[in-house]
Amino acid sequence: MFESAEIRRTLDGALPAMKVMILLAINGGLGQTDLANLPKSAVDLDGSWLNYPRPKTAVERRIPLWPETVQSLKEAIAERPAAKNAEDNDMVFLTRNGLRFVRNSDGEKQTWIDSLGRAFKKLIESLGINDHRNFYALRHSFETIAGESKDPIAMGSLMGHVDSSMASLYRERISDERLRAVTDTVHEWLFGS
């Protein structure tokens, strides 16, 4: 995982799109594929919420967004390049070439392209944070620190984890207050009072 001082350094050194992707990763536990497939329709900047099922599990997530994340999202969306492909017009994030940050390559031999992971690795290396960690370690940081909130049900919901317990069959909702308590715990760790 990344420690709070390291994350703050990456935020200070990042360009607008990378900055908000880092914020979303630590604000709500989003990974590269989550971010690459994030539609604008999932983002409620006025209400400061992200309503977005995790692509890997299809588990619905409702994530309260910090003021820093909302502001950064507004800046990144304003600077977003035009989409190269029409089906990407609604994506929040696109590379400078108008492509999704994580995608399969064109051509005969399909290969996985993770432009986000590569750009993040360059960023942390330029800041002298060059070790085995990668962008997905931000999700690990979120999980670890969110656990301090002592609400594993709300934390799992934010992470988009599949809950196959009997209790999940009876649970009808998780309050916004519980979700905010988890993200507030991480915010306090990252930014302090």
> d(Cα 44, Cα 104) in Å, to the nearest integer?
29
User: Given this model, what pLDDT does residue 2 score?
Assistant: 96
User: Given this model, what pLDDT does residue 116 score?
Assistant: 95
Share of the chain above pLDDT 90, in %: 74
Q: Which residue has the higher pLDDT, 157 or 49?
A: 49
Cα 42 from chain centre: 13
pLDDT band at 109 (very low <50, low <70, confident <90, very high): low
H helix or E strand, kind and range, residue 167: helix 166-170
Q: Given the DSSP bridges, would you call strands 102-104 and 43-44 parallel, antiparallel or unpaired? A: unpaired
User: Given this model, what pLDDT does residue 56 score?
Assistant: 80
Closest CA to 98 of 82, 113, 118: 82
User: Given this model, what pLDDT does residue 107 score?
Assistant: 59
The least confident of 9-18, 26-35, 167-176 is 167-176
Q: Domains (ranges, CATH) in the chain?
A: 4-191 (1.10.443.10)
Beta bridge partners of 43: 50
Mean pLDDT across the stretch 31-36? Answer: 93
